Structure 1
Amino acid sequence: MRKIITVLFLVTFGITNAQQAFKGKGDSKINIGANLQDGGSGIQGSADFGLGENFSYGFVFTYLLGVDEFSGIYGANTYADEKPEFQDRFDTKFRINANLSSVIGVKELDVYPGLSLGLHNFGGHVGGRYFFTDGFGVFTELGFPIAKYSDNKDVFDHLNNQVTFSIGASFNLD
């Protein structure tokens, strides 16, 4: 019972003291969190910078820490305990976002769909940030590829060309 009361208190405190999630031009945010996807999990970091009332640009990187090894036949090749190399685990992207907090009328919640151009593909993402204080909040994001750059059918080609889910902490830099 004590745990339930504590959780309810924290949620109530967080909602009543929530801050504006996206302020527009000059706004700077950093997200750090976990990246979850089929075949591996890792870390994601991103930075977004406001250009206008509802528009921002930024950068995102992901690195897969835990990746499933592969043993078996893939294409015409046979693999035994094959591990991905650095370029299979790492991705970085330039992105643009449409920040919709002022459009939807909830200043504490920033919902941001966008497009990204990365090392492995052209893709999109949909995310959300909620700030509990002026400097700290949480984020979640769903990323997806739209077009891959190559037809390479390497055994680990799918790692950076699939739907990803990220969740973590968000920090306000201004």
Structure 2
Amino acid sequence: MRKYFTIIALITLSLGVQAQNPIPSGARFLNVGVGFSNHGIPINAGMDFGIGHNLSLGFDVTHRFDYKFENWGVAGTFNYHFNQVLNIPSNWDFYAGLNVGAAFGNGYSDVDLGAQIGGRYFFNSNIGINLQLGGGNNFSGTRVGLTFKL
């Protein structure tokens, strides 16, 4: 068993050397965008903070509205970034994670747990495009927007 662990650790380390961490510790990404869902059009803004090897914490604020439904949501996010594991170039960023948030509006409030998967492509060292799919809560649906490295 120890032999297999050593082999897996060496493979993981060798992959990590070939790709740059997309969100290094201390980095900040500002995300803004618009989405599509069964409950109208969400407009969102948020930040991601690099906290360690391929990990980020962040938050999102969303305003969702359609002809009969309107609410606000605030969520905390946790993501794992797959670039080093999958040997993806540093101008791309693929991630997946969980979020927990609160939604309120139209006379109700709710606390939800959800998941997201997404990716970014950076045109240059500071600006990129973002696409994210989510499920399970107020932040569900498809989002597209811009990311700015701060």
Query: Above 0.5 in TM-score?
Result: yes
CA distance in 1, matches of 2:28, 2:92: 15
1:74-101 Cα distance to aligned partner (Å, 9 max, x none)? xxxxxxxxxx4xxx51111001000111
Unaligned runs of 5+ in 1: 1-19, 70-83, 149-159
- Contact 1:21–1:109 (CA<8 Å) still a contact in 2? no
Tell me the TM-score normalized by structure 2. 0.75
Q: Which of residues 122, 126, 129 in structure 1 aligns to 2:113?
A: 122
Offset at residue 132 of structure 1 (A) = 0.8
CA distance in 2, matches of 1:21, 1:38: 35
Query: Number of matched residues?
Result: 122
Offset at residue 61 of structure 1 (A) = 1.2
Offset at residue 108 of structure 1 (A) = 1.5
Please name the residue that 2:53 is paired with.
Answer: 53
Q: Which residue identity does 2:67 align to in structure 1? A: D
SS in 2 for 1:89: strand
Which protein is bigger by CA-based radius of gyration? 1
Q: Which residue identity does 2:97 align to in structure 1? A: G
Offset at residue 21 of structure 1 (A) = 7.5
Please name the residue that 2:81 is paired with.
Answer: 99
Please name the residue that 1:33 is paired with.
Answer: 33
SS in 2 for 1:98: strand
Tell me the TM-score normalized by structure 1. 0.65
- Contact 1:60–1:92 (CA<8 Å) still a contact in 2? yes
Moved more, 22-31 or 54-63: 22-31
Please name the residue that 2:122 is paired with.
Answer: 131
Offset at residue 25 of structure 1 (A) = 0.7
Offset at residue 27 of structure 1 (A) = 1.3
- Contact 1:43–1:64 (CA<8 Å) still a contact in 2? yes
Moved more, 47-56 or 101-110: 101-110
SS in 1 for 2:116: strand
- Contact 1:44–1:62 (CA<8 Å) still a contact in 2? yes
Q: Which has the higher contact order (CA 8 A, sep 6+)?
A: 1
Unaligned runs of 5+ in 2: 1-19, 103-110
Q: Which residue identity does 2:95 align to in structure 1? A: Y
CA distance in 2, matches of 1:23, 1:35: 23
Please name the residue that 2:6 is paired with.
Answer: none
1:38-89 Cα distance to aligned partner (Å, 9 max, x none)? 1300311120000112101000111014x132xxxxxxxxxxxxxx4xxx51
Aligned residues: percent identity? 30
- Contact 1:21–1:129 (CA<8 Å) still a contact in 2? no
CA distance in 1, matches of 2:39, 2:54: 35
CA distance in 2, matches of 1:56, 1:29: 10
